[in-house]
Amino acid sequence: MGNKKLHPSIEKFKSFVKEHPKLMDEVKNGTNTLQEFYEDWYLLGENDPYWDKFIHDGVKKEKSNDTESSKDEKSSGNWMSQINNIVQKMDANQMQHHLNNLSQVIASVQGVLSQFQGGNQTVSTTKNETKHPFSFRKD
């Protein structure tokens, strides 16, 4: 196992866990698993306020209950701003293209299923009709 190199993201996560020793306490208690923490770390990033509660007391002092509740409100606001940023970065034309592809796949699957069912039903391909399932307009 010593000769086997780990993926760089796993190496970064291992060093992250060393910086946040309370993560291992949560794993030992059975509250969370390392897989769950890794997924959260991968999605949220290292600098998310969520990780502050897992820093060792000697490194960073825990906040009082009053400030902890304001921190929860702030992190939920941060979450909403992240969602807002994602929505703003979405390309409407690209979404439309993906939805069109999805529609064509669904029509194809329906056609294959009707063939296996032996039904005389014909599935109309709405290739021309679903060219633009949603009309996105620019302001």
Instruction: For residue 1, tell me if it sits in a domain.
Output: no
In the predicted structure, residue 41 carries a pLDDT above the cut 70: yes
Q: Which residue has the higher pLDDT, 3 or 104?
A: 104
Residue 95: domain span: 91-139
38 & 103 share domain = no
84 & 98 share domain = no
Looking at residue 101, its pLDDT comes to 85
pLDDT tens figures, 114-134 = 888 876 555 555 455 556 666
Contact 13, 20 (CB under 8 A): no
Contact 9, 38 (CB under 8 A): no
16 & 80 share domain = yes
72 & 102 share domain = no
Instruction: Tell me the C-alpha distance between 97 and 133, whole Å.
Output: 9
* Residue from 67, 27, 29, 28 nearest 49 by CA: 67
57 & 125 share domain = no
Q: How many CA atoms lie within 13 A of 109 on its CB side?
A: 6
Looking at residue 63, its pLDDT comes to 42
70 & 112 share domain = no
pLDDT tens figures, 63-98 = 444 455 555 555 666 888 888 777 777 777 777 887
Buried b (16+ CB within 10 A) or exposed e, 19-40: ebeebeebbeeeeeeeeebbee
Please give the model's pTM, rounded to 2 decimal places: 0.38
68 & 44 share domain = yes
Looking at residue 66, its pLDDT comes to 46
pLDDT tens figures, 89-112 = 777 777 788 788 888 989 989 988
